[in-house]
């Protein structure tokens, strides 16, 4: 009877470990989402995994579920109140302000980032307490072309992965000039509904958040609620129409959704979401919008900005829902099998040389038998096995075995690297 050894520890509830081969899909998605940004003038930024609690309370919004229910908070030995970052925008904007990037005279500041984020939510498929995102922010310019650019870049990134069954939802939330009148009209409507105490409190803080409530008991009562599109000022209407026009001209299809508000308090004007109907209730794979007042909320100057965050986890699930197989680079192209101590030393040098030529090469470590080493070669997915034994050393050759066809040939040791590189490239 084989005894199984199990670690005393497990990943915390609502989190996951990424391990090969599955992790290769996540890396490929992360790279595909970032690639269009690097081609479009966005520079990489990385921020700490935790920030001052007040940054998120001010920026994300005290009425949001993220701040009231979902943040992981801690108090340091020095008494500082910190929170694991629940989203990326507030942190990136804080970093840009702290480094005075906005004073360099080259606006907008265009930044992209990738990392893990944390929210204490009820775990379910597509919703975890630890999740991965790629995000982008264009800071310091009030230009509808930036809004359209970011939507277009995300659209093209998804397409490059082979994703087809996603939709883009688009709305405008107005600005500080036209939203107050809409806010008052919406509050008046919502106060007449049969809502629980927490939702009623939200009406007074940020009534738009009630429109984002996913509960059927709430959504059922929202029929006939006033819509922001009917209260937009002329400037906001013009801005929104320009975003729509630019997307249409670029061949990007979208759906107008007058109830789309997203889950964060800082959004103004453009708001958008990428949804995939193959994911069930957790259908959003990414989204974002314009946040023209966020800089001032966290103590900075007026810096109109726009950005998005795309979920790596959700994108992988969407790809699987469509049955898309990603074309991944081979983890191992050549698997080296030495027999004997002298062959092992010589093979180690050959594998090192192959790697330096850009070939993905691995070696049968641990002095395994030829039979076991060849099993590992086949499991590795390599195209070629490189074999070297005592007789081969004496003759100054190594053996190439094509693991697809089974064909085996001898090659001079001093030609191994050149021959294999040529075959693979």
pLDDT tens figures, 47-75 = 999 999 999 888 777 666 677 778 899 99
Contact 385, 377 (CB under 8 A): yes
- Quote the CA–CA distance of 26 and 19 in Å, as a whole number: 10
pLDDT score for 117? 94
β-strand partners of 135: 113, 309
- For 196-236, how does the pLDDT look when each residue is reduced to its tens digit (9 = 90+)? 888 888 888 888 878 878 788 888 888 888 888 889 999 99
Question: Is 30 labelled a binding residue?
Answer: no
Instruction: Please report how the helices 144-160 and 234-249 are oriented relative to each other, as an axis angle in degrees rounded to 10.
Output: 30
Q: How far apart are the first and last CA of the chain?
A: 48
User: Percent of the chain beyond pLDDT 70?
Assistant: 97
142 is in an annotated binding site: no
What was the pLDDT predicted at 285? 95
**Domains detected in the chain:** 22-178+232-322 (3.30.930.10), 334-424 (3.40.50.800)
- 266 marked ligand binding residue: yes
pLDDT on residue 215: 86
Residue 32 pLDDT grade (very low, low, confident, very high; cuts 50, 70, 90): very high
Is 220 flagged in the annotation as binding? no
Was 271 annotated as part of a binding site? Answer: no
Instruction: Of 62-76, 114-128, 160-174, 382-396, give the lowest mean pLDDT range.
Output: 62-76
Average pLDDT, integer, range 104-112: 92
Share of the chain above pLDDT 90, in %: 66
Q: Is the confidence at residue 2, as pLDDT, over 60?
A: no
Tell me which residue of 172, 88, 104 sits closest to 140, measured CA to CA. 104
Mean pLDDT computed over 35-58: 94
Categorize the per-residue pLDDT at 425 as very low, low, confident or very high, splitting at 50, 70 and 90. confident
Predicted pLDDT of residue 265: 67
Strand 334-338, strand 384-388: pairing: parallel
Q: What is the pLDDT of residue 203?
A: 86
More confident residue, 87 or 105: 87
- Check pLDDT > 80 for residue 132: yes
Report the distance separating Cα 321 and Cα 280, nearest Å.
10
User: What would the two tokens of residue 256 be?
Assistant: 């107008």
pLDDT confidence of residue 64: 67
Residue 262 assigned to a binding site:
yes
Residue 345, pLDDT above cutoff 80: yes
Of 64-78, 302-316, 358-372, the range with the highest mean pLDDT is 302-316
Place of tokens 């790596």: 312
Q: Tell me whether residue 3 is annotated as binding.
A: no
Q: What is the pLDDT of the chain when averaged over all its residues?
A: 91
SS3 call for 361: strand
Q: What is the pLDDT confidence band of residue 405, given thresholds at 50, 70 and 90?
A: very high
Report how far apart, in Å, the C-alpha atoms of 21 and of each of 308, 379, 381, 387, 415 are: 28, 12, 11, 26, 32
Confidence of residue 3 (pLDDT cuts 50, 70, 90): low
Residue pair 115/133 in contact by the 8 Å Cβ criterion: yes
> Which contiguous run of DSSP H or E holds residue 112?
strand 109-118
The DSSP code sequence of 46-106 is: ---SEEEHHHHHHHT-TTSHIIIII--EEE-TT--EEEE-S-SHHHHHHHHHHTTGGGSS-
137 is known to lie in a ligand binding site: yes
- What confidence tier does 264 reach under pLDDT thresholds 50, 70, 90? low
Tell me what pLDDT residue 5 has.
62
pLDDT on residue 266: 76
| pLDDT value of position 63 | 60
Q: Which residues lie across from 168 on neighbouring strands?
A: 274
The pLDDT value recorded for residue 179 is 85
State yes or no: pLDDT of 322 exceeds 60: yes
Q: Is 238 annotated as a binding residue?
A: no
316: Cα separation from own chain's centroid: 10
Average pLDDT of 351-364? Answer: 94
């Amino acid at each position: 009877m084989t005894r199984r050894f199990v670690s005393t520890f497990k990943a915390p509830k609502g989190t996951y470990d990424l391990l090969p081969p599955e992790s290769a899909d996540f890396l490929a998605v992360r790279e595909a989402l970032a690639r269009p940004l690097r081609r479009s003038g966005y520079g990489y930024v990385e921020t700490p995994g935790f920030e001052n609690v007040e940054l998120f309370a001010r920026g994300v919004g005290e009425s949001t579920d993220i701040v009231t229910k979902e943040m992981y908070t801690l108090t340091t030995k020095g008494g500082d109140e910190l929170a694991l970052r629940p989203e990326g925008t507030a942190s990136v904007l804080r970093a840009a302000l702290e480094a005075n990037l906005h004073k360099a005279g080259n606006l907008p500041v265009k930044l992209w980032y990738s990392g893990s984020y944390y929210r204490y939510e009820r775990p379910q498929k597509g919703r975890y307490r630890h999740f991965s995102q790629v995000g982008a922010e264009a800071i310091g310019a009030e230009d509808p072309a930036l809004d359209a650019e970011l939507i277009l870049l995300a659209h093209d990134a998804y397409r490059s992965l082979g994703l087809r069954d996603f939709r883009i939802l688009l709305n405008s939330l107005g600005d500080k000039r036209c939203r107050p009148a809409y806010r008052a009209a919406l509050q008046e409507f919502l106060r007449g509904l049969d809502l629980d105490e927490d939702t009623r409190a939200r009406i007074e803080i940020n009534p738009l958040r009630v429109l984002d409530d996913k509960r059927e008991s709430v959504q059922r009562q929202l029929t006939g609620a006033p819509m922001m599109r009917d209260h937009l000022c002329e400037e906001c209407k013009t801005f929104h129409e320009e975003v729509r026009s630019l997307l249409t001209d670029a061949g990007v299809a979208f759906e107008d959704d007058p109830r789309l508000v997203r889950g964060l308090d800082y959004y103004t004007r453009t708001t958008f979401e990428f949804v995939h109907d193959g994911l069930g209730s957790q259908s959003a794979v990414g989204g974002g919008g314009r946040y023209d007042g966020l800089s001032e909320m966290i103590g900075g100057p007026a810096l109109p900005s726009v950005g998005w965050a795309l979920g790596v986890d959700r994108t992988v699930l969407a790809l699987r829902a469509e049955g898309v197989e990603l074309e991944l680079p081979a983890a191992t192209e050549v698997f080296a099998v030495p027999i004997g101590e002298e062959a092992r030393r010589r093979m180690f040098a050959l594998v090192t040389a192959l790697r330096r030529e850009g070939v993905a090469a691995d070696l049968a470590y641990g002095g395994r038998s030829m039979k076991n080493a060849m099993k590992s070669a086949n499991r590795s997915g390599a195209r070629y096995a490189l074999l070297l034994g005592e007789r081969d050393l004496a003759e100054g050759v190594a053996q190439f075995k094509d693991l697809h066809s089974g064909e085996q040939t001898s090659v001079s040791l001093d030609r191994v690297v050149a021959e294999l590189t040529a075959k693979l490239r």
